[in-house]
A and B are shown apart, each in its own frame.
Chain A
Amino acid sequence: MTPDKLLFSETHEWVHLDQTEAQPIATIGITAFAIEALTDLVYMQLPKVGDQLTAGEPFGEIESVKAVSDLYSPVSGEVIEVNSKLPDNLEILNDDPYGEGWMIKVKVTDPAPLSKLMKLEAYEKQCSEEQ
Chain B
Amino acid sequence: MSSTLAKTPLHDWHAAHGGRMVEFGGWSMPVQYSSIVAEHHATRQAAGLFDISHMGRIRFDGAEAAQYLDSLVTRSVTKIKPGQVRYALMTADDGGVLDDVLVYHLQDAAGGSYYLLVVNASNRPKIISWLGKHPEPEGVQVTDLTTSWAMLAVQGPKALGLLQPLVEVELSALKYYSAVETRIDGHGGIVSRTGYTGEDGFELIVGNGAVQALWEKLLAAGASEGVLPAGLGARDTLRLEAGMPLYGHELSEEINPYQANLGFAVNLEGRSFPGHSALLTLAHDNTRPRIVGLELEGRRPAREGYEVRSGGQVVGRVTSGTFSPTLEKPIAMALVAPEYTAEGTPLVVDVRGQEVAAKVVPLPFYRRSH
Can you report 19 A-B residue pairs in the complex whose CB atoms are below 8 A from each other?
A: A39-B32, A39-B35, A40-B35, A40-B36, A42-B301, A42-B323, A43-B300, A61-B352, A63-B301, A64-B36, A65-B36, A65-B233, A65-B301, A65-B322, A66-B31, A66-B36, A66-B322, A68-B301, A68-B303
Give B38 Cβ to nearest chain A Cβ, in Å.
8
Give B176 Cβ to nearest chain A Cβ, in Å.
28
8 other contacts beyond A39-B35, A43-B299, with CB at 8 A cut-off?
Answer: A39-B32, A40-B36, A40-B323, A42-B300, A43-B323, A65-B323, A66-B31, A67-B303
| Most chain A CB neighbours (cut-off 10 Å) among B31, B323, B325 | B323
Please judge, given known A-B contacts A61-B352, A65-B325, A68-B352, whether A39 and B36 are in contact too, CB under 8 Å.
Answer: yes
* Interface 0/1 of B91-121, CB less than 8 Å to A: 0000000000000000000000000000000
Q: Is B84 an interface residue (CB 8 A)?
A: no
What's the tally of chain A residues with a CB closer than 8 Å to chain B?
11
Q: Is B37 an interface residue (CB 8 A)?
A: yes
- List B333-370 residues whose CB lies under 8 Å from chain A: 352
Expressed in whole angstroms, the Cα–Cα distance for A43 and B352 within the complex equals: 13
Which chain A residue has the least Cβ–Cβ distance from B233?
Answer: A66
How many A-B residue contacts, CB cutoff 8 Å?
A: 40
What's the tally of chain B residues with a CB closer than 8 Å to chain A?
17
The B interface is mostly helix, strand or loop, or mixed, namely loop
Which chain A residue has the least Cβ–Cβ distance from B35?
Answer: A39
Expressed in whole angstroms, the Cα–Cα distance for A61 and B323 within the complex equals: 16
Expressed in whole angstroms, the Cα–Cα distance for A40 and B237 within the complex equals: 12
> Would you list the 5 A-B pairs with minimal beta carbon distance, nearest first?
A42-B323, A43-B300, A39-B35, A40-B37, A65-B36
Given the complex, which residues of B lie within 8 Å of A42, measured CB to CB?
Answer: 299-301, 323, 330
Expressed in whole angstroms, the Cα–Cα distance for A40 and B352 within the complex equals: 20
Give B39 Cβ to nearest chain A Cβ, in Å.
10
